[in-house]
Amino acid sequence: MIQKLSLLLSVLILFFTSCEKSSNSDIIVNEDVITFFELNASQYIVNPSDSVLTGKYEKFSFSEGDTVSHDNWDVAFRGTTIIVNGGDSYNINQPERIGNAAVYIATGVMLDIRTVDLSKLEQDNTSGPAIVDDLGISGDGWASYDMSTHIISPIAGRILVFRTHDDKYAKMEIVYYYDSPNPDPSNGDYGGYYTFNYVYQSTGEINF
């Protein structure tokens, strides 16, 4: 009887501890990789007449590990668009760029990206962002669009490698784009929420 009770107890403990994992707080998966949950970049409006987007970009700082409102941001999100604090603005409502941030998309799993290929880093420019933003139609960006389910998903094996606004480095993997890990837009799940794993190299070294 006691054995049975303790078994039940351990199952319950296991259940509750595993539930904690999915709560909406920042948790450390291992020493380096940090997960940020559901950054809200959904504050935008589409003008129905010309399909032009307006609205707020949500800024993120790797060193602070959080969204920020000041100008020392590294990366900012609005809908499916990702911009960096470096280069030139190409669209309205973009936050001011004062830094030297740049980015490229590497292929692999998070652990495999061990070093930054400086030659690939690009900044935003007046014709568009460094990270292709086409709603996942070309497959060159970070996301893909499923025509049958209308779900936008981050493409597996795409790692975003950043130079931050102050010449440090970081790598990031976006893991889902909705306010639910298993989105069902027909059920009210909303897009524009970024959950991502990242590793920040605060020393300025290019190796992770």
Partner 1 sequence: MLSSYFSFSQNQKGTIVFDRDLQEVTISATKTSKLIDDLPIPVTIITEKEIQEFSASKLYDVITKQTGIVSVTTKTGTEGLQLQGLDASYTTILIDGFPVIGRSFGTLDLNRISVGDIERIEVIKGPSSSLYGSNALGGVINLISKKQIEDGPIISTSLKHATYNTTSSSLVYKYKEGTFHISNSFDYYKTDGYDLIDTDLLSTVNPYSNYTFRSNLKYALSDKLLLNTNGHYYKQEQINIAADSSSLLKGESNIKEWSLGTSAKYLMNANFFQQLEIYKTNYRADEFLNTEDGVLYENNYFDHTLLQSEMKSSFTYKGLNSILGFGITKEVLSRRDFLNNPEQDLKFIYGQLDATAFNKVNIILGSRYDNYTNYTPVVSNKLALGFSLTNKIQINGSVGTGFKTPDFRQKYFDFTNSTIGYIVLGRDVAIDRLDAMQNVQEVVPFSELSSPLKSETSLNINIGLKYNPVNNLSFDVNLFNNKVNDLIEWKLVAKDENNTNIYSYFNVNQFETKGLEFNSTYTKANNWEIKFGYQLLYAYDSQVLKGIGQDTTYYARDPETLASIKLNKEDYFGLFNRSRHMGDIKFNYHLNDKTEMNTMLTYRSKYAISDSNGNGILDTYDKFIDGYTLCDIGITHQISLLKTCQIGVKNIFGFTNPEFISNITGRLYYMSFKINFK
Distance of closest approach, residue 61 Cβ to partner 1, in angstroms: 23
Residues whose CB falls within 8 Å of the CB of residue 187, separated by 6 or more in sequence, listed in order = none
Please state, in angstroms and rounded to a whole number, the distance separating the CA atoms of residues 60 and 10: 39
Q: Which is nearer to partner 1, 131 or 143 (CB)?
A: 143
CB 95 within 8 A of CB 195: no
Q: Cα angle vertex 145, ends 144, 150, to 5°?
A: 150
Contact call for residue 201 and partner 1 (CB under 8 A)? no
Residue 206 in the binding site for partner 1 (CB under 8 A): no
Enumerate residues 163-182 that contact partner 1 by CB under 8 A. Answer: 173, 175-176, 181
28 binds partner 1 (CB under 8 A): no
What is the Cα 137 distance to its own chain's centre? Answer: 19
* Separation of first and last alpha carbons in the chain: 51
Q: State the sign of the Cα–Cα–Cα–Cα dihedral 153, 159, 163, 164.
A: positive
Cα–Cα distance for residue pair 163/200, rounded to 1 Å: 10
Tell the residue number behind the tokens 């292709």, with chain if given: 132
Number of residues that bind partner 1 (CB under 8 A): 32
Query: Within a 10 A sphere around the Cβ of 118, how many other Cβ atoms?
Result: 12
Nearer to partner 1, 124 or 173 (CB): 173
Residue 143 within binding range of partner 1, rule CB under 8 A:
yes
88 or 134: whose CB is closer to partner 1?
134
Binding of residue 82 to partner 1 (CB under 8 A)? no
Residue 154 is a binding residue for partner 1 (CB under 8 A): yes
Asked if residue 65 binds partner 1 (CB under 8 A), the reply is no
List 79, 87, 95, 136, residue binding partner 1 (CB under 8 A): 136
Residues forming the site for partner 1 (CB under 8 A): 29, 48, 107-110, 134, 136-139, 143-144, 146-149, 151, 153-159, 173, 175-176, 181, 186, 195, 197
